[in-house]
């Protein structure tokens, strides 16, 4: 969901979706090492609900709680598993998605072509 290439890129990707890690949303963030050295070039608003609008409201609520920046406000695994959305899920009745049968991986194809040479 947040495939950052390095720490600062990772933080930027997270802030684009979850908003900035500021004392307003996470009081103890100021005590983290190097917090004062972070100078984001742009401050984004939390857009999780806008981006994942297509998810059911109950599932979106859990996702929002899982991605709270403040660990003290983040939902626990136990609370998530006991949520009303997950209580109504019966894994035996879920049809597995149809996955591609023959998938060509660019990296593997490149290696084969190099060997053939």
CATH number at residue 53: 1.10.510.10
User: Residues 66-104: pLDDT tens digits?
Assistant: 999 999 999 999 999 899 888 878 888 888 777 666 656
For CA atoms 20, 21, 22, 27, the dihedral sign is positive
- 3-state DSSP call for residue 112? helix
Residues 29, 71: Cα–Cα separation, whole Å: 10
Q: What value, to the nearest 5°, has the Cα angle with vertex 76 and ends 67 and 95?
A: 75
The number of folded domains in the chain is 1
Residues 25, 42: Cα–Cα separation, whole Å: 17
**Which pLDDT does position 19 carry in this prediction?**
92
pTM (2 d.p.): 0.70
Say if 103 falls within a structural domain.
Answer: no
Domain range spanning residue 84? 7-89
Indicate the pLDDT class of residue 32, thresholds 50, 70 and 90: confident
- Residue 35 DSSP class: G
């Amino acid at each position: 969901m947040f495939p950052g290439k390095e720490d600062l890129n990772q933080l930027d990707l997270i802030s684009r979706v979850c908003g900035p890690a500021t004392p307003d949303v996470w009081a103890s963030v100021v005590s983290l090492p190097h917090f004062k050295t972070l100078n984001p070039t742009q401050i984004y608003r939390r857009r999780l609900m806008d981006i994942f609008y297509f998810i059911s409201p109950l599932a979106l609520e859990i996702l929002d709680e899982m991605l709270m920046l403040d660990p003290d406000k983040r939902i626990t695994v136990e609370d998530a598993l006991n949520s009303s959305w997950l209580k109504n899920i019966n894994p035996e009745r879920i049809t597995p998605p149809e996955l591609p049968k023959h998938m060509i991986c660019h990296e593997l194809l490149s290696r084969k072509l190099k060997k053939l040479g």
